């Protein structure tokens, strides 16, 4: 049993995570950027903006005061959008207890620095060894209902991984551990971009065969980026890679897939995010992942196509034509395997 856990960020995943860990924590304090949301949660035990049909456990309370949320915290969970992770971590750096493990739920690549989210958190909070990331096919809408789910928890410290695994795991939420932090993070960032492509394809009338092509070629794209960064080539085949990719590309709960469909209907990113009150991480990742891939001379045609539509003014049909105009190569080109390394 952990004493107090601070969850920084009251979006869907932060809300669901608060409920998930509550049975193994004395108290969960959920930090909300909006004071009115915190007040509503404390009054009704329901987040009025996210998962509004889900009643939080009695030992979860909310606050708008970061110092109050972090005081005496034995574990800190970061659940804020990727664009806000660094400024939020900078703001709370002096408040985070030095001995507390830090679990990063945010997925993405920071634009400009090419840094993954654990690196960002570790730079601002100090102590990479105490940080971990969690990723997998876990839609908050299902996790909060207790449906069977699984995730991979990656940390360079086996002790930190074991401690956080004990906090998270239960009968319906299986948590596997890994030391491949880079591989897990690459999977979490790139799959969101692929999901936008899948949604746009569906919006343009594509069938199941087309979705299967986008997903598997997207998986190869994930593998090439992961390989270039020195990750374990098996990681994209697991929960953080293939598992999360399937869920994000096919589920009605996926904001990235849903946005892709809306994009095909002509809706803008700004309009979609304002209407849904959700951040489309894949839209940001299209730019930052492409920059990261180019820095390592890695081909990422699906990411490039999504970036072209979102940020380059390309039409979806033009992006499709460009992808179909590419000459097919060896299926797993650009991915390090034992056979290729021995050649």
| Residue 341 confidence (pLDDT) above 70 | no
| Residue 340 confidence (pLDDT) above 70 | no
| Residue 328 confidence (pLDDT) above 90 | no
Average pLDDT, the chain: 95
Query: In this structure, how many other beta carbons lie within 10 angstroms of the beta carbon of residue 1?
Result: 9
CATH 1.10.1040.10 domain position(s) in the chain? 189-336
| Residue 343 confidence (pLDDT) above 50 | no
Task: Identify whether the C-beta of residue 96 lies closer than 8 Å to the C-beta of residue 122.
Answer: no
Among candidate residues 228, 198, 223, the one with its CA nearest the CA of residue 210: 198
pLDDT of residue 336: 74
Among candidate residues 88, 165, 93, the one with its CA nearest the CA of residue 134: 165
Confidence label for 334 from pLDDT (cuts 50, 70 and 90):
confident
Is position 191 annotated as part of the catalytic site? yes
| Residue 337 confidence (pLDDT) above 70 | no
Domain 2-179 has CATH 3.40.50.300: no
Task: Identify whether the C-beta of residue 262 lies closer than 8 Å to the C-beta of residue 272.
Answer: yes
Identified catalytic residue from 107, 191, 329, 340: 191
Q: Which fold has domain 189-336?
A: 1.10.1040
CATH 3.40.50.720 domain position(s) in the chain? 2-179
pTM of the model: 0.93
- Reported as a single tens digit per residue, the pLDDT across 216-237 is 999 999 999 999 999 999 999 9
- Reported as a single tens digit per residue, the pLDDT across 131-189 is 999 999 999 999 999 999 999 999 999 999 999 999 999 999 999 999 999 999 999 99
What's the whole-number mean pLDDT along residues 196-201?
96
């Amino acid at each position: 049993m952990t004493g107090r856990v601070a969850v920084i960020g009251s979006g869907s995943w932060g809300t669901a995570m608060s409920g998930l860990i509550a049975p193994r924590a004395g108290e969960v304090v959920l930090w909300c950027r909006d004071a009115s949301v915190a007040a509503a949660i404390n009054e009704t035990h329901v987040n009025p903006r996210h998962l509004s049909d889900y009643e939080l456990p009695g030992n979860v309370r909310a606050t708008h005061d970061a110092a109050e949320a972090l005081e005496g915290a034995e574990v800190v969970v970061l659940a804020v959008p990727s664009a806000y992770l660094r400024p939020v971590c900078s703001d709370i750096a002096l408040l985070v207890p030095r001995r507390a493990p830090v679990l990063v739920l945010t997925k993405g690549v920071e634009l400009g620095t090419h840094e993954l989210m654990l690196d960002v958190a570790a730079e601002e909070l100090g102590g990479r060894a105490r940080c971990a990331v969690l990723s997998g096919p876990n839609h908050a809408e299902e996790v909060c209902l207790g449906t069977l789910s699984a995730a991979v928890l990656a940390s360079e410290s086996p002790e930190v991984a074991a401690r956080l695994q004990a906090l998270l795991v239960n009968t319906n939420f299986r948590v596997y551990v890994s030391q491949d932090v880079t591989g897990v993070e690459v999977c979490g960032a790139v799959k969101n971009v692929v999901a936008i492509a899948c949604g746009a394809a569906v919006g343009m009338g594509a069938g199941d065969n087309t979705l299967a092509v986008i997903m598997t070629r997207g998986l190869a794209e994930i593998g090439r980026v992961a390989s270039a960064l020195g990750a374990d080539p098996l990681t994209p085949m697991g929960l953080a890679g293939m598992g999360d990719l399937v869920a994000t590309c096919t589920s009605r709960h996926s904001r990235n897939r849903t946005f892709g469909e809306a994009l095909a209907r002509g809706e803008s990113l700004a309009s979609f995010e304002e209407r849904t009150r959700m951040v489309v991480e894949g839209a940001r990742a299209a730019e930052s992942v492409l920059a990261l891939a180019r820095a390592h001379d890695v081909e990422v045609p699906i990411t490039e196509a999504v970036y072209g539509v979102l940020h380059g003014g390309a039409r979806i049909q033009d992006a499709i034509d460009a992808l179909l105009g590419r000459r097919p190569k060896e299926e797993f080109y650009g991915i390090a395997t034992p056979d290729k390394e021995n050649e």
